Amino acid sequence: MPGYLPPLADFRFLLQDWLKINEHYASLGLGEFDADLAMEVIEQGGKFAADVVAPLNREGDEHGCHLTDGKVSTPQGFAQAYHSYVENGWNAMLGDVNYGGQGLPYSMAVPVHEMLNSANLSWRLTTMLTESAVLAITKHASDELKAIYLEKLISGEWTGTMNLTEPHAGSDLSLLSAKAEPNGDGSYAITGSKIFITAGDHDWTDNIIHMVLARLPDAPAGVKGISLFLVPKFLPDQNGNPGKRNAAGPSALEKKMGIKASPTCVMNFDGATGWLIGEAHQGLACMFTMMNDARFQVGLEGLGASEAAFQGALSYARERLQSRAPQGIQQPNDKADAIIFQPDVARMLLTQKSFAEGCRALAMLYAKYMDIAHNAEDDRKEEANAVLQFLTPVCKAFMTDTGLEATSLGVQVYGGHGYIREWGMEQLMRDVRIAMLYEGTNGIQAQDLIGRKLTRDKQGMLDSTYRAFNELVSNIVQPNNKQTAEQLLQEWYTTSQTVKGFDPVNASGGACDYLQYTGYALLGVLWYSMADAASQCGNPHIAAGKQKTCTFYAERILPRMQGHKAALFAEAANILAVSGSEFDYL
């Protein structure tokens, strides 16, 4: 498996030259932060990802997790890496300073999270869900629960989980049947079974805090009758330390296509003691605090896989000698030229690069608006939240779709070797495939985008997003790039306004095409913006690389946008006509 190299030069360009991060922090009153500090954090995070976490990736995939006598063991080295992660404060980056967190801007933490995903997706998942649990508790839990659990979760002394899915209730949470009975002392007895629970049990920490959706006895039917509960693996004693074992634990480990080193558990709750988070019957709103964060984080998984696949494919393409380049001999002292000089291989590498760097820019723009949403004290906060709501399904779905494509291209560049386990490419492809499924399938993300965020939205999420990207366009200096970016953004906005008038049936039928159309269009705007900023950055390698990749994206990838647009405007009748008999052969 090829080694992982943190893309530090690209992060430096994005922060300093593209986002103008010093001005960004100053505008939010975050004077203690600047680009130098951000790069120091990112460099150290990259070093941890490359030196500590990445070397565990292949062995973790080979050995997987094991369940013995109700206890899960993870691959050798995983727990030790986590202890080092916690000791060095990485788990606390985004935590509330009142509970021991560092309160760093998202624009500092997101690059570290991307690099951890590139290095070892299975390992990253446990820390990711803990961060999401911290958000839900911070926003919705009582002060009493915060005092007991928040500091230990932020520090990483304990980890957290998200328990939604049940065997009969996946994306349709209205079918959820887990029960919560009042105990009479302010706690509840939680009973039910949950599946697909990431890090439901492991050997990293001495306690695990489960966030569980369940129904109270008086709950109304449907999603309006769901409540959220905090259920610890061990009930804290009077000193806040793990005490009595709770009636919650794993009954099985899922056998999966990928992320084999991540313990995905079937969890049973047999009258387990839990406490209500937020208001009764408002659990879905509380859980969405976790889910929206997790959806963006899953997008980072796709981005991380794209970068890892690109690095592996590039390394191999430079070393693998085969045939002569059609444009003429490139390595006269060798018996053949490296395959990187083959136009089709270069096409695949540039596709990977355009996705990885384009989606990284999208992630960093998202992080910028997360900074604003958490720190602004004026109208910018509401505007930022509208942008984030619109972009969340795009980040989750488009970044994971392109992640799968980039890893598939990684296998293709390696040829037959890409299909062999020892080279690592096939693992990247297997691991990232789940990212298109969990935290809401990409089809559900598309329905969310075209439904809640567009056709049924009355708060102007589309307009806020248009203004955010128009700000990027307005800062472009080169006339040709500026004009082309303006036209692209305006076409997307005009088309979106038309789609906003779709009836529910046609909106549902065109949802996936609208999300893809949006992804390719907005990535195109980002590429024109980056190419322009790179031309002024003073780094000739960055300048040349961004311009070439921008041209490639515009001419070779962006045309996909028009195909999705054509499909988007096709009537849904050709889908609705399907009755079932069309699939019968006998």
First to last CA, the chain: 47
101 class by beta-carbon count within 10 Å (0-12 exposed, 13-18 middle, 19+ buried): buried
Beta-bridge partner residues of 484: none
List of long-range contacts for 17-26, beta carbons under 8 Å, 24+ apart:
17/533, 17/534, 17/536, 17/537, 18/361, 18/364, 18/529, 18/530, 18/533, 19/107, 19/364, 19/365, 19/368, 21/107, 24/107, 24/368, 24/371, 25/105, 25/371
Three-class HEC string of 261-320: CCCEEEEEEEEEEEEEECCCCCHHHHHHHHHHHHHHHHHHHHHHHHHHHHHHHHHHHHHC
Burial 121-133 (b: 16+ CB within 10 A, else e): bbbbbbbbbbbbb
Q: Which residues contact 264 (CB under 8 A, 6 or more apart)?
A: 196, 197, 198, 200, 253, 254, 256
Give the pairing of strands 264-277 and 227-232.
antiparallel
Write the DSSP assignment of 545-579 as a string of letters: HHHHHHHHIIIIITTHHHHHHHHHTS-THHHHT--
Cβ 449 vs Cβ 514: under 8 Å? yes
Q: Two tokens at 534?
A: 């790179």
Name the residue among 162, 155, 389 with its Cα closest to residue 294: 162
40 class by beta-carbon count within 10 Å (0-12 exposed, 13-18 middle, 19+ buried): exposed
Candidates 439, 471, 491, 555; catalytic one? 439
Please state, in angstroms and as integers, the Cα–Cα distance from residue 577 to each residue in 453, 574, 580, following that order: 27, 5, 9
Whether residue 377 lies in the annotated active site: no
Q: In whole angstroms, what is the distance from residue 249 CA to residue 259 CA? A: 21
Max Cα–Cα distance, the chain, nearest Å:
83
Q: Which residues contact 423 (CB under 8 A, 6 or more apart)?
A: 1, 2, 312, 316, 414, 417
Catalytically active residues are 439
